[in-house]
Structure formats: C-alpha cells, structure tokens
Amino acid sequence: MKNKLKKITTNLWFDTQAEEAARFYTSVFENSKIGRINRYGKEGYDIHGIPEGTVMTVEFQLEGQEFVALNGGSQYKFTEAISFIVHCKTQEELDYYWEKLSEGGGEKAQVCGWLKDKYGVSWQIVPHNLNEMINDSNPEKSRRVMQALLQTKKKIDIKTLERAYKG
C-alpha cells in the first residue's frame, strides 16, 4: 500500500489477533491486500505492557477501503453498535460472504442478515438493492419489504424480499 494517508481509515482494535484477522478478511474479499505491518518496540512497554517485536498494527484493504488492525490489548471489545455492510448482487454472493464471515464459530443474529465473525466484528450481508426497496416511493412496497426483512431468520433470501417488493 502507498504511504498516502486517506482522509478516513477504519481502525479495528483487537486483543492479539490483528494480523490473523487482517489475513482472514483479505482471504474473504477478492480485491484485498495486506499492507505494512508495524511491530511494538521497547518504547512504551511500561504503559502498554506488550512485548517488543509483537505486531502492533496491520494495514490492509478490502475492496479499496483502508483499515488498520491494532493489537491493543483486551480492554475493548467489538459490539453491534458498529457493523460493516456487504452489498451483494446475487444469492450466491450473499451465501458466500455469509458462510465465509461466519466461519469459526461466528455468532449469527436472528434477523436481517446480521452476523458476528470469530473476532466479534458485526457484519450485515444484504442485497445490493435493499435500500432502494425499503425506501421506495410506494409506501406499500416499502412496508412489505420491511415486514419480510424483519421476519428473516439469519441469512437473507433475496427472492423472498423481491417477491414482497413486487407484491
């Protein structure tokens, strides 16, 4: 990755799994890559307590979006308050991301295509046209789609939402 700093970069705080997580995510998304890996030095050990040579940060990209994974310790955990939305054009693509991101014991939510991966990061795996259907100018179409979406148990079925949209 180039050293040019983007305006906004997502930082993900891990206990000790930053490199493992970055490698996992880049294996799931096709247009992805690992960038610089920085390691802790002697400096600051008295503050953070992380041994010299341990991975501190891993820069990586997923579909052109930049991320930094930080090994910062166990004091912070991921919550559903932040999630990443993956927009899928086909059921096959949706199924792929659902299965890959939930591998390894990831928790799957009970509605609307949410899942939590093995690192505790929340993902929403949704059809690419979901927002268009939910925000349609015809309130009846929008209502039917939202009703179908809220009845979804775990993974979304695109055809079910499309049938609801068409009435």
Q: Tens digit of pLDDT for each residue in 58-108?
A: 999 999 999 999 999 999 999 989 999 999 999 999 999 999 999 886 666
Residue among 94, 137, 96, 136 at smallest CA distance from 112? 94
Question: What would the pLDDT profile of 12-28 be if each residue is shown by its tens digit?
Answer: 999 999 999 999 999 99
Please state, in angstroms and rounded to a whole number, the distance separating the CA atoms of residues 94 and 160.
14
Please state, in angstroms and rounded to a whole number, the distance separating the CA atoms of residues 107 and 92.
21
DSSP category for residue 22: H
CATH 3.40.50.360 fits 10-71, yes or no: no
The domains of the chain are located at 10-71, 83-166
CATH superfamily of 83-166: 2,3-Dihydroxybiphenyl 1,2-Dioxygenase, domain 1 (3.10.180.10)
Please state, in angstroms and rounded to a whole number, the distance separating the CA atoms of residues 122 and 95.
16
Please state, in angstroms and rounded to a whole number, the distance separating the CA atoms of residues 62 and 167.
36
Please state, in angstroms and rounded to a whole number, the distance separating the CA atoms of residues 123 and 112.
11
Q: Provide the pLDDT for residue 48.
A: 86
- Phi–psi pair at 62, nearest 5 degrees: -125, 115
Tokens 């010299």, residue located: 52
pTM of the prediction? 0.90
Q: Provide the pLDDT for residue 130.
A: 96
